[in-house]
Chain A
């Protein structure tokens, strides 16, 4: 009897038709957000010694949880390697993938993903030992380069060497950890990844001061959160959470002054904090969705400085990631 019941259950599972994607409702019902994160990249997604996750991507996830669930800690971080990050998102294991993932056309289409924005404009660079006396990536003819497999990094590396008629010996590893260890052991002359990753990984080498980052940026790597195809409402929610963080910085709303800003008479600020209009409800969230983001996590500038900027060991300059009216290209559409 038990065997027959089990067989019927198996058949039912196999024939179950997946319902149309309702991720926002599922997250609210579950009361916890499943977020795909890196787990080994300082500044973007890394658990600290106490097991608390920190990083730029981690803070974007916490912002989504603040807006949807009202609590920045209601997030379950799933560490994913470059190889299984897309399968985890496609299969529904995570609701959103915020894992320093480059936005490309093939990922947007044939992988069944939608990128919701760019939380970090990056580019690929090279790190070499100072003792090699190399000053430019164009001098790397014949060099061996350690790289993580399954990334746009691997493809860009081959393209760069091919375009400049240089000989390449690439050594690929499944995880960034192994690639960096092999580079440190002298297995290859250079290590390549996004420039932000180079700064992060350099801190982990045996002698960080023995290494330098070459000036060339050989590719565009717009890093941003990704969600599944077929769920427009969730796509809009994740998109506008990031835009809210950028708009907050533009309107000078920080986690420290957001309470005073609630009383502001500036129309843009009033629409942001929800005292005017019902933009939160239009997204399927509460009226004070943007206020919760800024209060519990911070605006884009605060999050940047805290994780990868002057307030962190990486000390990366904001560069392209400054606001559009301050010399960079971070630009968010208006909330109205």
Chain B
């Protein structure tokens, strides 16, 4: 007598089989969702058509007719289209989001590590910073920075002249813009070449250190390659660089590169706000590393500085990176508050002006949502790749 334990599931009617049921329910749910989406879309299209509201993307090639105060690519109200205005807005958003992420990370890591410092004053200052900044809504902070920046700076007629040919007033910071003359290409080539050789040298130096324990003079070599070489080429080619200096006109200062106060206020506000959150994430990551690691490092004779840099932080990064990604995405989305202070980001230019002039709310908002979704997905993809590369590989 042998009980056959290897027969599969007991024989039941197919409509009672759990596997079949789950498949049927899932298919039914998908069909229902698809029906709802299809119905909503056709309903919307039908209503739009009945109300004689134009739909489609024909407006993309229509002339824009309005001016934008900060454009990283060439744009003119006469010749540019709504599509071009979209790209201008998108570049402005990417600029402020990119710089914001960089500054917020640097500041956030500093504050987070400071909060765990043994220096009482530093720790208390960091705690105060985090608790204050985290609890005030970002919009209020942006308005504060914008008004503080505007009120603090002098009127355009009393501009502060910065040595070097720059001016600072409440309309912006005006810097001399560089004119790249012939021969500057060689300097750029020298820079790229220097960077490549420096990276190769780093790799060779760390292999050599692993083999023999001797450290090569990495810092000096890198400086010589990345700074010294391009400067040498620059001098040899006869200094191919001239500057366009800003000149005071009747109303405004013209010429040169203009950094808008709106841009500065948005950058400060976003960086300082997000840094408070990043500081807490970093603190959590560092506290998550076992205390035994620090003690072991000290017992090996390592000072607190190198311990933090070489042992604690690399292990903390595994805990830090996923919430850090969320903070980066928050920063990108919070940059849309630029609308409140007049910085021409994507939402202000596209979902504001273009939507109002063309009246095509559905298409414009859909495109904007897609853009932010894409930016967020790319950012989180990059962060996840990094996270996986530093993950602990467990047996």
Contacts and interface: CB of A to CB of B under 8 A. Distances in A.
A189 B53 contact: no
A15 B66 CA distance: 39
B66 to A, nearest CB: 5
Contacts of A140: 251
Contact of A86 (B48, B78, B155, B356): B356
Contacts, number: 142
Contact of A178 (B36, B171, B342, B359): B342
Interface in B54-107: 54, 65-69, 77-78
A49 B252 CA distance: 39
B344 interface: yes
Interface stretch (A6-14, A53-61, A69-77, A302-310): A6-14
B150 A187 contact: yes
Nearest to A143: B251
Given A110-B358, A150-B357, A185 B67 contact: no
B339 A174 contact: yes
Interface in A189-242: 189, 228-230
A188 B156 CA distance: 9
A172 B69 contact: yes
B291 interface: no
Interface in A64-82: 82
Interface in B123-149: 147
Contacts of B339: 174
Contacts of B54: 109-110
Nearest to B79: A162
A111 B364 CA distance: 14
Contacts of B40: 14
Contact of A111 (B53, B65, B147, B252): B53
Interface stretch (B197-205, B223-231, B347-355): B347-355
Nearest to B262: A171
Nearest to B50: A230
B77 A162 contact: yes
15 contacts: A11-B36, A14-B39, A83-B356, A106-B359, A110-B54, A141-B251, A142-B250, A142-B251, A149-B66, A155-B66, A157-B67, A170-B69, A187-B171, A188-B171, A228-B51
Interface of B: 32, 35-36, 39-40, 43, 46-48, 50-54, 65-69, 77-78, 147, 150-151, 155-156, 170-171, 249-252, 254, 261-262, 339-342, 344, 348, 352-353, 355-361
Given A112-B51, A142-B254, 19 more contacts: A14-B39, A16-B43, A83-B352, A87-B361, A112-B53, A132-B251, A142-B249, A142-B252, A144-B171, A144-B251, A149-B66, A150-B352, A158-B65, A158-B66, A169-B69, A171-B69, A171-B262, A185-B170, A186-B150
Interface of A: 7, 10-11, 14-18, 82-83, 86-87, 90, 106-107, 109-112, 132, 140-144, 149-151, 154-155, 157-159, 162, 167-174, 178, 182, 185-189, 228-230
